[in-house]
Structure 1
Amino acid sequence: MGFLDIRNATKAYGNVEVLHRVDIAVEEGEFLVLVGPSGCGKSTLLNMIAGLETVTSGDIAIQGRVINNVHPSKRNIAMVFQSYALYPNMTVAQNITFGLEMHGVPKAERARALEDVAQLLQIDHLLDRKPGQLSGGQRQRVAMGRALVRDPDVFLFDEPLSNLDAKLRVDMRTEIKKLHQKLGRTIVYVTHDQIEAMTLSTRIAVMYGGHVQQLGTPKDIYDAPENVFVATFMGSPAMNVMPAKVRVADGVPHAALADAEGQEVLLRFSQPHLAAWDGRDILLGIRPEAITDPDGADRNSSNIEPLRNRIGVTEPAGADTFVTMTLGGKDAIGRMRADAQVAAGEMFDFAINMEKAIAFDPQTEARIKP
């Protein structure tokens, strides 16, 4: 049992079930990120925890206390919204302490709490301003301050950075991470941005179609995705997934697939259990960083497979150069060093780290396990 328990939680609107038997146990002090595309059910689940949506079936509990029918104001939960939801006619100080005032907290105690939070978030110089005089990043800090000052059991963040520009998003991501490390509070955070999910979380729940597709650490999600959806949703650029066939040669399974010229190439697997799939179709998954040049290949890997293939497109990206080639009839992206000598249309000697390759069942799209 976790600090926050979501047990077989479902949500239906009439006959349409939009959230299906979600089971997640969140430990105290954990940073859980719910990530997925629009309409996957992540915000609905967050709203059910907050009490803004009812639970159709199943339970949500905090510290063993079922809160399904508890009013939102009685759940000791603080929520930070995408829109900030600040009162425009109030100062920053009034916005932060308004909730405490409504709960009858004495003025001296409110003042101490305000001072602590303002220093923590470095907004003490903004306390007399109104929201209209603040930048997006400053408004977000005020919204976070209003949540922090209440000292809740659980913090809920609903896509809090989506209204900020790219640089400010990165800065605020770092601030939220620092805040969690400093306070050690339980956080449930919703985003559609997989970079936010990977950098902020201690665990990630990847959602799609109202189901939790995979629940695990960022490393688990990235290195061992449960299915093709998780593999392609998490990672930038996305994992390359292409059709292949398993061929066993000298007792060792290989991925057989066509290169840019239509010639069959064999890439040796490091997973012996795939020998049971001899002659069968699979989907081969390879991350872009596992496709590189021989000098840039992982020195710790015991299975770097050579592949000579024609380069389709090159994309310089500062610290990296991305190279696209045709493999298995699909575009496959490799991540090269910035100074890699690559040119569109040329034949190139790639190095494929097959230790990182993953095979998926083309029927179920699930990862093929031992």
Structure 2
Amino acid sequence: MGFLNIKNATKAYGDVEVLHNIDISVEEGEFLVLVGPSGCGKSTLLNMIAGLEEISSGEISIKGKTMNGVHPSKRNIAMVFQSYALYPNMSVAKNITFGLEMHNVEKSVCKAALADVAKLLQIEPLLDRRPGQLSGGQRQRVAMGRALVRNPDVFLFDEPLSNLDAKLRVDMRTEIKRLHEKLKTTMVYVTHDQIEAMTLSTRIAVMFEGYVQQLGTPKQIYDTPSNLYVATFMGSPSMNLLPVDVMDGADGSQFELRIGDQVTKTVQLNGQRLPAGRYTLGLRPEHITDPESADLESGKYLMIESVVEVVEPAGADTFVTTKLQDIAVNTRMRGDIEVATGEVTEFALDLRRLHFFDPKTELRVELEAVGS
């Protein structure tokens, strides 16, 4: 059993079930991120852990103790909200220590805890200010300080960076990552931003329509998505999806890839096999690139020539749109490449990074070694 254990948990409002049989076990010191679009149930699940929402069925436990029916104040959790939820008429110092004072913690203990947290979060010069005198990033630090000062068993973050501008989001993301690595505290973090999920977490639960679609490390989620939803949700730009008909070949399975209006390439899966039939082929943009960026000596690339339809310079990368199977696909090339719309250019497609999905069930289909 994990430090935080969610077992077969459901949530219903009347006859409408919004969370379905959630099973997640979080080890002590883990950083779990719940990621998914608005309305998928991630914030509802976080609120159930906090005790702000009642659990309809199943069980939630912390440190082996069942939390069903336990008041939020008795769970030893701390929550950081999207809106900061600071008291505008109190100083920063008072905002941080207010919860401790309400629990009749001695003043000397409150003062020492405040000093430690202020130093950790580098907000010592702000202690006499009020929230209205702070920037968004400073307010978020104060909100985290209020949570940290309690020394909780579990930290809960509900989209804490969504109100910040792009640069500040990146800076605060780094601060939260550094904080977790220093404190080693168990954290559960809700976001709709898959970049936050990938960079912050030790594990990710990808949610959609009240179900956990996949639970795993960032590498597992990105490299081996369990279904089409996870494949397209995680990654920016998202994974390209193409219909292909797989056939049996002498040394394994093969399929044909149409490039433009006339050219067709046969792609041989040497030593690997899929049952013959129609599949959805998944290709991440970075696995269709310019020859100079590819490891061509590996011999695992398919070289194709195709017309450039859109060029999007993005600093370190250039995103180029072309067409395969009559479908626009995104490719990622080096930042200094010189390509122009309408010209034919060469692309290197990494055959080691092909993903196949059943178009009916949308589940991932694994390749099998020939003769297995």
Counterparts in 2 of 1:11 and 1:180: CA distance versus 1, 3 Å: same
Q: TM-score, structure 2 length as denominator?
A: 0.96
What SS does structure 2 have at the residue aligned with 1:105? coil
Q: Does 1:294 align with 2:301?
A: no
Q: Does 1:211 align with 2:211?
A: yes
Q: Does 1:345 align with 2:342?
A: yes
CA contact (8 A) 1:203 1:216 kept: yes
Q: Does 1:12 align with 2:12?
A: yes
Query: What's the CA shift for 1:49?
Result: 0.1
* Equivalent in the alignment of 1:261: 261
Residues in 1 aligned to 2:313 and 2:175: alpha-carbon distance in whole angstroms? 30
Query: What's the CA shift for 1:252?
Result: 2.4
What SS does structure 2 have at the residue aligned with 1:204? strand
Deviations 1:122-165 (A, max 9, x none): 00100010000000000000000000000000000000000000
* Equivalent in the alignment of 2:365: 368
Deviations 1:29-66 (A, max 9, x none): 00000000000000000000000000000000001100
172-181 vs 304-313, which deviates more? 304-313
Counterparts in 2 of 1:299 and 1:146: CA distance versus 1, 3 Å: farther
CA contact (8 A) 1:243 1:257 kept: no
CA contact (8 A) 1:292 1:334 kept: yes
* Equivalent in the alignment of 1:69: 69
What SS does structure 2 have at the residue aligned with 1:253? strand
* Equivalent in the alignment of 1:152: 152
Deviations 1:311-365 (A, max 9, x none): 1111111111111011122211110011223221112221100101100000011
CA contact (8 A) 2:290 2:333 kept: yes
The one-letter code of the counterpart of 1:340 is: I
Aligned pairs (5 A) from 1:1-370: 1-269=1-269, 272-274=272-274, 276=275, 278=276, 280-298=277-295, 301-369=298-366, 370=368
Query: What's the CA shift for 1:76?
Result: 0.1
Counterparts in 2 of 1:301 and 1:76: CA distance versus 1, 3 Å: farther
CA contact (8 A) 2:227 2:364 kept: yes
Residues in 2 aligned to 1:48 and 1:6: alpha-carbon distance in whole angstroms? 10
The one-letter code of the counterpart of 2:111 is: A
57-66 vs 300-309, which deviates more? 300-309
Aligned residues: 367
Residues in 2 aligned to 1:362 and 1:139: alpha-carbon distance in whole angstroms? 47
Query: What's the CA shift for 1:294?
Result: 1.6
Query: What's the CA shift for 1:168?
Result: 0.1
358-367 vs 346-355, which deviates more? 346-355
Query: What's the CA shift for 1:307?
Result: 1.5
CA contact (8 A) 1:155 1:186 kept: yes
Residues in 2 aligned to 1:309 and 1:27: alpha-carbon distance in whole angstroms? 48
What SS does structure 2 have at the residue aligned with 1:89? coil
Q: TM-score, structure 1 length as denominator?
A: 0.97
The one-letter code of the counterpart of 2:346 is: D
Extract unaligned runs of 5+ from structure 1: none
CA contact (8 A) 2:251 2:271 kept: no
Residues in 2 aligned to 1:218 and 1:363: alpha-carbon distance in whole angstroms? 26
CA contact (8 A) 2:251 2:270 kept: no
Residues in 1 aligned to 2:145 and 2:271: alpha-carbon distance in whole angstroms? 50
Query: What's the CA shift for 1:272?
Result: 1.1
Deviations 1:165-191 (A, max 9, x none): 000000000000000000000000000
Residues in 2 aligned to 1:271 and 1:360: alpha-carbon distance in whole angstroms? 19
The one-letter code of the counterpart of 2:310 is: V
Residues in 2 aligned to 1:301 and 1:208: alpha-carbon distance in whole angstroms? 38
Counterparts in 2 of 1:43 and 1:262: CA distance versus 1, 3 Å: farther
CA contact (8 A) 2:153 2:185 kept: yes
CA RMSD of aligned residues (A): 1.3
Counterparts in 2 of 1:299 and 1:173: CA distance versus 1, 3 Å: farther
Residues in 2 aligned to 1:77 and 1:153: alpha-carbon distance in whole angstroms? 6
Counterparts in 2 of 1:134 and 1:260: CA distance versus 1, 3 Å: same
Extract unaligned runs of 5+ from structure 2: none
Residues in 1 aligned to 2:273 and 2:34: alpha-carbon distance in whole angstroms? 32
